[in-house]
Amino acid sequence: MKLFQRIFSTFCLVIICGIFIASFTFWLIQSRMNETHSKQRRNMESIMLANTLATFQSQGAQATKDMLTRWHDHPATKHIAIVSSITHKEIFNRPFSRDEYLRAYQFALENPKSDMSIIYYDGFGEEYLFFVRNFDRQEMERLPTLIIPGLPFAPVWHEFILIGVTLWIGLLLAYILARNIAHPIGILEHGMNRLAAGELDTRVSHQLIERKDELASLGVQFDKMAAQLQQLVEKERHLLHHVSHEMRSPLARVQALLGLIQARPEKQADYMQRLENEITRMDTLVGELLTLSRLETANMAMEKEPLPIVPFVQQLVEDSQVVAEQRQHTIIFDKCSLKADACLNANESYLYRALDNVIRNAMNYSPEGSTIHIKMYEDRKNLHIEIVDNGVGVKPEQLPHIFTAFYRADSSNGKTGTGLGLAITKHIAEQHGGKLFAENVQPNGLKMHFVLPKTTRSKHAVAQKTVENEEQPENKEQQED
């Protein structure tokens, strides 16, 4: 059974049960009211019959007729009957059946103390029967209903009409409510089927825009999921396209070099060196692709430990000085007023790779004799690392794309590289809970800004880490000896 049918059936069952319960409650209340009303009426009729008999005994038939005439508006007066045994006529000449008379007479004989039927003899010996009409009827009269006044039907039909109308309205409301719930679910189902069929641009929230409930929120979440899935698939296609493109050129050169080695064996040494360079370039590309894949896998946690950031960056600057001297660059490191216990919860090797990649890019894209500025400072929650070069910068429209894998800005000017370095660097920053921004500086240059969340660490732990770093080179020298 479909969801719509289940919801509709459930609502119908609930409404029908509610109608029956309400009808039974109404019937029970009306029965109690009828019973109370009947008892009150019987009491009034017995009192009226006693007054009528007393008036007849004291003042005669005419006075009794006058009294009943004066009280003709009273409901109980209509049920009082006085019948002479001689004429067999009622005092007001109202019609009655002989069976009714005989039953009342028999009841008076059997129940001489009854207040519903009384036999009385006047002074002339004439016999009269005073009784309340229909006194022995077991079925109580229904009260006139006030729910549907003015209908020319008996009161019992009023309830059937009311139940029928209520049932029809209930079924209509059940249908509307069931459709209101099942329709958006059908939209979501159709959207999922389209998404499963490969239509990654499928969106459903615009069809639920008029709703303000959980199903509309589910539609928004579906669109977010579809957008992320589309982005991942497009990224995968983009990656496969560029990988095939980047691998094709070195493979073609390798194939050409192998042909040259076979054709000109005398230059084998020269060709072998070039062949080794191409293989190294391919190995670097594959290694960076594997690194990027690991970083993009969100379910793989990166191992981290507290890392004193100041000595870490100082060591990185010292390692970069050799390359900087070759290109006549100057690296200026400014730690500002950064405290010695400033610490990051980081993976040392990955963070080293990220910062080293940015510093090497700054040296590669800056003219000879440039100055590379590395500045560190902190705020209440984060550590900031800024690396500024003297290059030509990046066009403003290209800045948002430089962290995309294989994207090469115009400023690269055909320099060698895989186009994966900044993509890996950005992922490393994000894996550390931080961010990486790029912006042009005036008059020329590019600034890479790392924002990383800091952690607190005791001075004793910092000193211990520093001692361990100093001991490691000594141990390495001993092992070499």
Residue 481: the pLDDT is 43
Tokens of 435: 């961010």
Strands 371-378 and 382-388, by their bridges, are antiparallel
Residue 474 has pLDDT above 60, yes or no: no
| 9 vs 417, higher pLDDT | 9
Look at the alpha carbons of 455, 461, 465, 467 in this order and tell me if their dihedral is positive or negative: positive
Q: Would you state the CATH architecture of domain 305-476? A: 2-Layer Sandwich (3.30)
Residue 418 has pLDDT above 70, yes or no: no
Measured between alpha carbons, how far is 378 from 385 in angstroms, rounded to an integer? 9
Q: How many CA atoms lie within 13 A of 43 on its CB side?
A: 6
Q: How many CA atoms lie within 13 A of 359 on its CB side?
A: 27
When the pLDDT of each residue in the chain is averaged and rounded to a whole number, the result is 79
Nearest to 322 by CA among 354, 351, 356: 356
Q: Does residue 313 contact residue 452 with C-beta atoms inside 8 Å?
A: no
Residue 323 has pLDDT above 90, yes or no: no
| 24 vs 332, higher pLDDT | 332
**Mean pLDDT within 104-131:** 85
Q: Does residue 188 contact residue 219 with C-beta atoms inside 8 Å?
A: yes
- Angle CA 431–437–438, to nearest 5: 135
Measured between alpha carbons, how far is 143 from 149 in angstroms, rounded to an integer? 13
Residue 416: the pLDDT is 58
Measured between alpha carbons, how far is 65 from 60 in angstroms, rounded to an integer? 9
| 139 vs 64, higher pLDDT | 64
Domain residue spans of the chain:
3-155, 214-296, 305-476
Residue 6 has pLDDT above 80, yes or no: no
State the pLDDT confidence band at 448, using cuts at 50, 70 and 90: very high
**Mean pLDDT within 263-283:** 81
Residue 384 has pLDDT above 90, yes or no: yes
The answer to which of 57-61, 256-260, 332-336, 461-465 has the lowest mean pLDDT is: 461-465
**Highest-pLDDT range among 123-137, 205-219, 298-312, 351-365:** 351-365
Residue 436: the pLDDT is 93
The fold for domain 214-296 equals Helix Hairpins (1.10.287)
Tokens of 66: 């006058």
State the pLDDT confidence band at 245, using cuts at 50, 70 and 90: low
**Highest-pLDDT range among 129-133, 157-161, 449-453:** 449-453
Measured between alpha carbons, how far is 373 from 387 in angstroms, rounded to an integer? 6
Residue 201: the pLDDT is 87
Residue 460 has pLDDT above 80, yes or no: no
Residue 469 has pLDDT above 60, yes or no: no
State the pLDDT confidence band at 241, using cuts at 50, 70 and 90: low
Measured between alpha carbons, how far is 268 from 258 in angstroms, rounded to an integer? 9
The answer to which of 151-160, 201-210, 264-273, 405-414 has the lowest mean pLDDT is: 151-160
**Highest-pLDDT range among 1-5, 196-200, 234-238:** 196-200
Residue 134 has pLDDT above 50, yes or no: yes
